[in-house]
Amino acid sequence: MRATRMAGVSGVGFVVLLGASVLIEGARPDTFASDEAIHRFFAEAGNQDRAAVAAFLLIPAAALFLFFLAGLHDLLHRGDSPSGLSLAAMGGGVWFVAFIVLPKLVDNITGASLAFSDTFRVDAQEARLASGLAYWIQGASMAGAAVLLVGASRLSRRAGLVGRRVEVVGYALAVTAPAAVALNGVPILLLLLGVLATGVFMASGRVVDPVRAHAREGRVANGRGRIRSAP
């Protein structure tokens, strides 16, 4: 249970660091911005520093999510079937965090390079390419998120950790996840809120160990059986 709590804290930490990275990064010129606007933005030292800090925060954020994912897998795989659904869910989680962190690193590479190099020069076309590439890679992250959501929802229900309604909500979010780009990133925000809620739940210590719960139910049932069979 201590490991489960620490994994939950890691999930909360992931969301906090990722959110902090996005806020620190702030608004930046998009692919439709003019060359002048792009050069003016990256010429400011404050924007360069923010890009560097935002990029650095992503590294511990990714590590925290992987620890959270390991704790979630340890909790859910006990109710897994030979189909390996828990492994599929974990694989989807690894895909998600890789493709949610990578685009933010790509998006901040121009500003971070300027912050640490006196010889680097901004190319407006390269800045647009980085921004566009980051946008589409971020959308691809939700393919893994969909697998994670389906697996975690089914296994959580099977283990008795959540009710039917929560399971259905997980499936619904999994269906909309691949359309994150078209939906302006709303499914990504909802997923992060789900990770936050799951992390808080795990960290609270209220998680019931499925193995111990089943064992306790078995002992109670056996005890009742002996009472009924007594003369």
231 has a pLDDT exceeding 60? no
**pLDDT tops 50 at residue 216:** no
Distance spanning both ends of the chain, measured CA to CA: 41
pLDDT at position 135 is 85
Mean pLDDT of the residues in the chain? 83
pLDDT in tens, 3-17: 889 999 999 999 999
Q: Residue 205 in 3-state DSSP?
A: coil
> How confident is the model over 145-170, as a mean pLDDT?
88
Per the structure block, which two tokens stand in for 111? 């500003």
Q: Which residues contact 207 (CB under 8 A, 6 or more apart)?
A: 1, 4, 75, 161, 201
Backbone angles phi, psi at 91, to 5 degrees: -60, -40
User: What is the rounded distance in angstroms from the CA atom of residue 101 to the CA atom of residue 146?
Assistant: 17
So what's the pLDDT on residue 118? 82
What's residue 230's pLDDT?
A: 41
Mind listing the pLDDT tens digit for each residue in 89-117? 889 999 999 999 998 888 888 888 888 88
Q: Quick one: pLDDT at residue 61? A: 95
Q: Which domain holds residue 163?
A: 2-229
Percent with pLDDT over 90 in the chain: 39
Domains: count for the chain = 1
